[in-house]
Chains A and B, each alone.
Chain A
Amino acid sequence: MQSVTRPPQNNHSDTALNLDPTILLPPGYYQHTYMQSGNMSAPAVLLPSDEVPRDNLPTDNSNPLRLGPGLRILSQPSSKGSDHVLTATQAGMLSIDAKRNAASLLTFPNRRYIPTVNDFVIAQIHHSSADFFHCVITPHTPHALLGQLSFEGASKKTRPMLKQGEMVYARVQSVGVGAGAEVELTCVSAATGKAEGGMGPLSGGMVFDVSTGMAARLIRASSAPVENTDPIEGLVVLSELGRKLESLGGFEIAVGRNGKVWVDCSDAAEGAVKATIAIGRCLQETDQQNLHAHDQKKLVTKVLRELKLVS
């Protein structure tokens, strides 16, 4: 889904967001006055051990409430039997999605990525063994396993021979249970057996590092509906780049939740390297300096001019 074709806004997909459905509360736990989801004055920032204010929670009683990472449910014995409270385990801004009946925490964007099932990641091959490629998702964590045959149409004869240092766009298939569990990746969709969303080896192009928060933001923005013309998640940098680089042949990007963005402009012929550098710099600066929408546009203009890609 993150393989954005040109122009980037055209991409959309029905793939589920990366909300961790770790805890599903049965309906009916929260019966409070109905509040519209958008009317919080200032979004609540929670610190570890803070309780989630119940007023903010969605009140759709027909569906279970979905909790994202950073929130947990605690049972407290009280006079009326046991009472459930939601508390934060990380610091972040409470984010409520009333439509999907979900609550999650927006935590610090710099944090380390923790593999979660169904996430798209960009992994680097470290070495291969008889059945697996051992891949690095984040530095200095145990390797994730990618089956040698977990590629579209792969058989013993046709499987890709990936070398150390090559990169793949893959989906987290499982993270195992309990301590010491291994993370497994796959490059095919379990349902169709096809490499959906551009999964597979990434050849050529360049991989840029961004914060995990930025990666999540890019993914959320790219999965928004096409007809939405407002800046999504405050991001206009990609659409702006897409518009300005269209004449050069456009570009392809793939976003990994582990804070990596693969950019390929091979259609741009001579301008390919410059265009790739421009995209990388715009993304990284937007990320690091928390640029607002109009500053993102200025940045794109500035960078493209510096690289002499536009006059």
Chain B
Amino acid sequence: MRPAHPKEAAQKPTNFIEPARPQPSMSSREEPLSIPERDFILEALGQNLRLDGRQFDEYRPLNISFGEEYGHVKLQLGKTSIIVRISAEITKPFEDRPFDGSFNINMELSNMGSPAWENGRSNDLEPYVLEALDRIIRHSNALDTESLCILKGVSCWAIRADIHVIDFDGNITDAACIGVMAGLQHFRRPDSVVKDGRVIVYGLEQRVPCFNDSKQVIVDATRKEEQAAEGDLVIGINSAGDVCYISKHAGAPIDAMLIVTKTNLAWEKVKVLNAIVDKALQADLSKRADFGMADESRAANDRLIQPE
């Protein structure tokens, strides 16, 4: 969907502390927050309180489960709920990169996730989330595209991640990122050509703190908290602890020291989130083993439905 070239990443300005700009509508066409709601949310944050009783640095309950097919993830983060489906097909590699397969992330926001989203029309949120995912998962080579090559210059795998937001209550950047990463780790390529048949994935997670005018920073904002926020900051960290993405999209300016401290917080959260993903993967694996489905070659054979 999106133009994809790693060079883009290099051109991104490194100066992410930008002057205050009006916060873009993070949830396109969503009815604006009422004054009592906005005032109250901010007043409560001023007293270190969130409406759902969470701490500022606390995520909502994260629930990950897998479908029958490989690479089919159901993820719930509080009341935000998404489905990620990973699929693969054989295609011809790009002329200039004969050794590389391709990987694309696709997200279309439909009327299901929120009545504010119109079917078949893109809105502001879509490119915002896709860019973050693109940078964090694709451009940082979280996925080893070289392993997707089948025959140099002739055929390769095109891996595709489809994100379906089925219930929106804020923070789809995190939900989508965790979902895609879990999906990639769960996915088995439908081939027996390449040994192991596994997409090589280096774990990565990320988080979104969100802050308001009094400089309170909260993670995993709900939809209403997002609407009341003055700005947001996205930090992507891979499982090795390297920061691979920082985005200060728009909104109120932010103190540089805050980015440093929040990056440390992000690293803590990444470890927790990774553990949850790993646990879900293990649970799914043992479930499949019970059904005698863990046999990878068999699973691969079952899926040999690709036309030549």
Contacts and interface: CB of A to CB of B under 8 A. Distances in A.
A163 B40 CA distance: 17
B36 interface: yes
A139 interface: yes
Contacts of A274: 47, 49
A20 interface: no
A165 B53 contact: no
19 contacts: A139-B30, A139-B116, A140-B29, A140-B31, A165-B32, A204-B36, A204-B39, A206-B37, A206-B40, A207-B36, A207-B37, A262-B36, A273-B40, A273-B43, A276-B40, A277-B51, A280-B51, A281-B52, A307-B53
Query: What class of interface size applies to chain B in its complex with A?
Result: 20 to 34
B293 interface: no
Nearest to A164: B32
Contacts of B32: 164-165
A164 B43 CA distance: 20
A203 B37 CA distance: 11
B34 interface: yes
Given A165-B33, A165-B34, A274-B47, 5 more contacts: A140-B116, A166-B35, A167-B34, A207-B34, A207-B36
B49 A277 contact: yes
A262 to B, nearest CB: 7
A30 B115 CA distance: 42
A205 interface: yes
B74 interface: no
Interface of A is mostly: mixed
B51 A139 contact: no
A295 interface: no
A136 interface: yes
Interface in B98-139: 115-116
Contacts, number: 57
Interface string A149-189: 00000000000000111110000000000000000000000
B283 interface: no
Query: What class of interface size applies to chain A in its complex with B?
Result: 20 to 34
Nearest to B50: A277
Contacts of A140: 29, 31, 115-116
B38 to A, nearest CB: 7
Contacts of A206: 36-37, 40
Interface string B47-67: 101011100000000000000
A274 B38 CA distance: 16
A163 B36 CA distance: 12
B44 interface: yes
A267 interface: no
Interface of B is mostly: loop
Given A165-B38, A205-B40, A136 B31 contact: yes
Point out which of B29, B35, B116 has the most chain A C-beta atoms below 10 A from its C-beta.
B35
A136 B30 CA distance: 12
Contacts of A9: none
Given A166-B34, A273-B47, A139 B40 contact: no
A246 interface: no
A163 B53 contact: no
Interface in A96-147: 124, 136, 139-140
A139 B34 contact: no
A167 B35 contact: yes
B47 A139 contact: no
A202 interface: yes
A233 interface: no
A306 B53 contact: yes
A124 B35 CA distance: 9
Interface in A245-298: 262, 273-274, 276-277, 280-281
A167 B38 CA distance: 12
A277 B44 contact: yes
B31 A139 contact: yes
A204 B40 CA distance: 8
Contacts of A165: 32-35, 38
B146 to A, nearest CB: 46
Nearest to B43: A273
B51 A281 contact: yes
A43 B151 CA distance: 66
Contacts of A204: 36, 39
